[in-house]
Chains A and B, each alone.
Chain A
Amino acid sequence: MNPIFKSHEKDFMRIEADQVCVDYNGTVALYDASLNLKAGSICGLVGMNGAGKSTFFKALMGFVRPSTGKIRLNGLRVNQAQKDQTVAYVPQNEGIDYAFPVSVWDVVMMGRYGAMNIFRIPRESDRRAVFHALERVDLLDLRNRPIGSLSGGQRKRAFLARAIAQRASVLLLDEPFAGVDVPTEKLMAELFLQFRQEGHTILISTHDLNHVRDFCDFVVLINKTVLAYGETSEVFTSENLHKTFGGIPPNPLSGPTSNKDFINE
């Protein structure tokens, strides 16, 4: 057990969602979704495509307004939390135009925009934050390269660096392990554990059950609503997974995984 868990922040709630319902023009995408995540935890958000994972993310980021229910991030309303740089979103690779003329450094610097003044002129502290973030994801050598020249895994790391530079305490990651190479996967898993130690709260949307078992403290199983929620070992039962995936879990529950050895510290 690392010391931060025993600190006064132990029970500080980073994410509080209380009976959140979201509908798009009358079509219910998510109902009655509740979730409480404290500082220093990693939670997997597991469900099929269309189960409401991205809707839940959007609600947490303030992109859709819940029709009922309430959301608090670090105890703040979502729009206030945004201004406080509380949430960082790490997108899937598909959502980004990689032919855009920006360098890796520029992309990571975008994480600092919210903390800058209206002219977005980087101060020394912003440059240090970017430098440090690039160092942590091992992209410092590639910082002047155009973002489009990076490999899939490097791109993912660049956006992770942007979230680090933002110094957000809540990280939302959309399928972080999709299409990344083994070194990146290893580096990201290590980073996630460090983030947890630093008191960040990480919510990972995925349908890769192996990664969830490997380092998520908590799991939310979702299918239009929260089917089950709790510590991974308790929630990950075949009965719950059956409910979530309608009898077709995408991955076998047992069997060796690629990154066991360094997860178990």
Chain B
Amino acid sequence: MSEFLISITPIDWLLDPLTHEFMRRALMVSALVGGVCGLLSCYMTLKGWALMGDAVSHAVMPGVVVAYALGLPFSLGAFVFGVGSVTLIGFIKQKSRIKEDTVIGLVFTGFFALGIVLVSKIKSNIDLMQILFGSPLGISQSDVKQTLIISFIVIFILLLFRKDLMLYCFDAKHARSIGINTGILHYLLLTLLSLSAVVGLQTVGIILVVAMLITPGATAYLLTDRFNTMTILAVISSSFSSVLGVYISYWSDIETGGSIVLVQTLIFLIAFLFAPKYGIFKNQSLINNG
């Protein structure tokens, strides 16, 4: 492969994969999913919901298995279990003296274990590896359709309630005092999280989807003091990582999910080191000038 790599030009590197139908599909889906998760990741990082993202993304596992076994859309099962896990977390937290992070860890591992048991018990053509690690290169036409629909729903709601959700993350008390129903916003955000986890696991799998839900937001957060700029940067870096990850995966024959998340992590590290204002090697003159 490596001697092969030397002989191709960058143009070929970019264009060759596009001659395959499955690659065009994978790139399109990955870019879209990257954008959706990137947009949501801003709210997750600002609200401090990284652990919640981890929980929900793992908790959808049994839902996916059950849905496949019953021949239902996988997104439906994932959504039901995603929202169910969140409700359960809230319920246990309220009814016991256990701290929230413990409850979250407890519930999502329980759901995840249930999913793994179900996979081994229900004899079907479900590929555990595909659920755990994603497989955008092998995504089916019907899965593409589901992903498109869910993605557009999430984007639409996020754009519509952009300011309310931002206010909810920043100052929920004020939101409530001006008559905004923060309870609805709370569950709206959790629902969007479940839906994003569902589309995210298409490309990077259940185990890594949490990276899609926090890393782009964290990267963008280091680069700007403006909320709108932050969302744009998160979407761009996330979509770019997804596309580049798929390309690298194609040419180097490595796991796609891992490749996408590694690109994201690399971009985060660059921001962490060199962000103009908040990086380790920040531009001192910029800070002195405000």
Contact = CB atoms under 8 A, between A and B. Distances in A.
A85 B170 CA distance: 19
A234 B206 CA distance: 67
Interface stretch (A45-53, A96-104, A194-202): A96-104
Contacts, number: 76
A111 B179 CA distance: 12
Q: In the complex, which of the residues B173, B178, B221, B290 has the most CB atoms of chain A within 10 Å of its own CB atom?
A: B178
Given A110-B167, A113-B167, A95 B173 contact: yes
A88 interface: yes
Contact residue range for chain A? 20 to 34
B163 A62 contact: no
A146 interface: yes
Given A63-B173, A100-B46, A145-B290, A79 B225 contact: no
B171 A96 contact: yes
Contacts of A103: 225-226
A110 B176 contact: no
Interface residues of B, number: 25
B177 A97 contact: no
Main secondary structure of the interface of B (DSSP, over half): helix
B178 A91 contact: no
A83 interface: yes
B77 to A, nearest CB: 32
B230 interface: yes
Contacts of A148: 225
Contacts of A106: 227
A114 interface: yes
B97 to A, nearest CB: 12
B207 interface: no
B163 A101 contact: no
B164 A120 contact: yes
B227 A102 contact: yes
A166 B178 contact: yes
Top 5 A-B pairs, shortest CB-CB distance: A114-B178, A146-B225, A82-B179, A83-B179, A120-B163
19 contacts: A63-B176, A83-B179, A84-B179, A85-B178, A87-B177, A88-B177, A95-B173, A100-B46, A101-B227, A102-B166, A102-B225, A102-B226, A103-B225, A110-B167, A110-B170, A111-B178, A113-B180, A114-B178, A114-B180
